[in-house]
Structure 1
Amino acid sequence: MNKPLDIIFPNPPSGLAPEALDAARIPEHIAVIMDGNGRWAKKRALNRLKGHKAGIEAVRETIRCASDLGVRYLTIYSFSTENWKRPQEEVVGLMDLFAKTMLAEVDGLHEEHVRVKTIGDLSLLPEETREAFEEAWEKTKNNTGMTLVVAVNYGSRQEILRAVNRCAEEVAARTADGLAPKEFSAEDFERGLYTAGMPDPDLVIRTSGEVRLSNFLLWQVAYSEFVVTDVLWPDFDRYELLRCLLEFQGRDRRFGAVK
């Protein structure tokens, strides 16, 4: 943990005790499905893009708090391969928002020693958006603090097919070279995933009360713990993250074994 709990959580709501958090059991990797921006906006008679903009502060708060707690990897689900089906005005606005936010935040992330990484197919993003993510990666790639993983134009089924195709290409190459067939291991397969080299998420948080994965990290979350909160993403803050962590620490993780 990088900071004392009373500094990270200076004004906890009544009934929420930061000191109950076990600093030795902070998840190494937290993945977040940030849901509810549209509903947050609708409740306030605003357009959906206003909800996405409001969610930026929740992203900042979550990154800052996770880093201070010593989380090593934080993955945020920003834009799925299915999100292209949304109204064009919303998609265009999101892409512009991604670019502007990444460029505005990268210096602060760099100062906090955060490393920015993306997972997903960036080739389909608008040039300005793609370049903003690439610039963030280039600037922070040697940082040794928390790794912020932004899932953008990401779909887990597509990722799995990508890994399968890589294995198939290796089989074809071996056959062409006259080599014996190879039995692939899980580790071989995982090298073809976007998340190669990263630990699987210990904890998956989904906001807005929805209970589904939405094509997110299907292979990687086989033994993750799930916490669902009814809080809409723009209202998610460090104290809601604390509640999720306390629930996580109350679980008995057996990984299929009997204890």
Structure 2
Amino acid sequence: MTDMQSRDAQAASSMPRHVAIIMDGNNRWARARGLSSAQGHRAGVESLRSVIRRAAELRIETLTLFAFSSENWRRPTAEVNALMELFMLVLKREVKKLHDNGIRLTIIGDRRRFSSSLQKQMARAEALTRDNPGLHLVVAANYGGRWDIAAAARRLAQRVANGQLRPEAIDESTLDREICLHQEPPVDLCIRTSGEQRISNFLLWQLAYAEFVFTPELWPDFDGEAFDAALSAFRQRQRRFGMSQQQIEVNGA
């Protein structure tokens, strides 16, 4: 057994089942090097590959990546267009590699604003990988946590209007079943790169009990080693879920 395999085996019992990442810092990375924002986003794709590969090696169940928020449409038109072209390119070039490695891809968010060709490419990528048994890779695109909750509430309201659901029957569990990722494990760890310390409307419902790690690396500098460091920080946390430390100690004894 190699040193890495030994380390992976020792960490398996405390490994988060679901990791979410806010990939931040592509523009700052590019500006520091006199490059365009598009070049910064392209550089971030290599970090994407590295982290996906490492998550699969560690047998993490679900990896959710914040690729494009509903607020990102406010960015300069040239940057948005470059991002859409990159998204299409990545879907075309990378999905077969994901499939060959047993990785399942799901894209969450409101797709209606994307071009029809990009929507079709998303659907093809999901269909190709749908039955894969390995890492579940979730990409949040034109996604916002408020949109997610509002869409769930709207679906429940429609069921009430149709006489299919009584208002008093709506509770947290009922709403949870309408939220994106309801079939996935709760998010255990949320990582944000670039030193920023906010969640920017990402997975507002799903992050209720997540641990947070804010790292100084800009996204193109974030690699498998940095990912391991964030996982190590997670494993040092005591997760209480509303209980006291004494209760945790008693239950763990």
TM-score, scaled relative to structure 1: 0.90
Q: Does 2:163 match 1:140?
A: no
One-letter code of the match for 2:195? Answer: G
One-letter code of the match for 1:40? Answer: W
The change in CA–CA distance for 1:86 and 1:250 in structure 2 (over 3 A counts) is: same
Match of residue 71 from structure 2: 82
Match of residue 13 from structure 1: none
One-letter code of the match for 2:100? Answer: E
Aligned-residue offset at 1:191: 1.8
| 2:71 alignment partner, SS class | helix
Q: Does 2:117 match 1:119?
A: no
> Is the Cα contact below 8 Å between 1:96 and 1:129 reproduced in 2?
no
Question: In structure 1, what is the Cα distance between the partners aligned to 2:52 and 2:31?
Answer: 26
Q: Does 2:223 match 1:237?
A: yes
Q: Does 2:80 match 1:91?
A: yes
Deviations, residues 41-82 of structure 1 (Å, cap 9, x unaligned): 000011111100000000000000001100000000000000
The change in CA–CA distance for 1:4 and 1:117 in structure 2 (over 3 A counts) is: farther
Question: In structure 2, what is the Cα distance between the partners aligned to 1:200 and 1:45?
Answer: 40
The change in CA–CA distance for 1:180 and 1:155 in structure 2 (over 3 A counts) is: closer
Share of identical aligned residues, percent?
43
Question: In structure 2, what is the Cα distance between the partners aligned to 1:112 and 1:48?
Answer: 30
Could you tell me which runs of 5 or more consecutive residues in structure 2 were left unpaired when the two chains were aligned.
Answer: 249-253
Match of residue 232 from structure 2: 246
One-letter code of the match for 2:123? Answer: E
Structure 2 counterpart of 1:155, from 144, 169, 190: 144
Aligned-residue offset at 1:19: 6.8
The RMSD of aligned alpha carbons is 1.8
Aligned-residue offset at 1:220: 0.7
Aligned-residue offset at 1:129: 1.9
Match of residue 251 from structure 2: none
Structure 2 counterpart of 1:57, from 41, 46, 52: 46
Question: In structure 2, what is the Cα distance between the partners aligned to 1:141 and 1:81?
Answer: 25
Question: In structure 1, what is the Cα distance between the partners aligned to 2:107 and 2:3?
Answer: 29
TM-score, scaled relative to structure 2: 0.92
Match of residue 25 from structure 1: 14
Structure 1 segments (4+ residues) deviating >4 Å: 18-21
| 1:22 alignment partner, SS class | helix
Aligned-residue offset at 1:203: 0.2
The change in CA–CA distance for 1:26 and 1:42 in structure 2 (over 3 A counts) is: same
| 1:90 alignment partner, SS class | helix
> Is the Cα contact below 8 Å between 2:160 and 2:166 reproduced in 1?
no
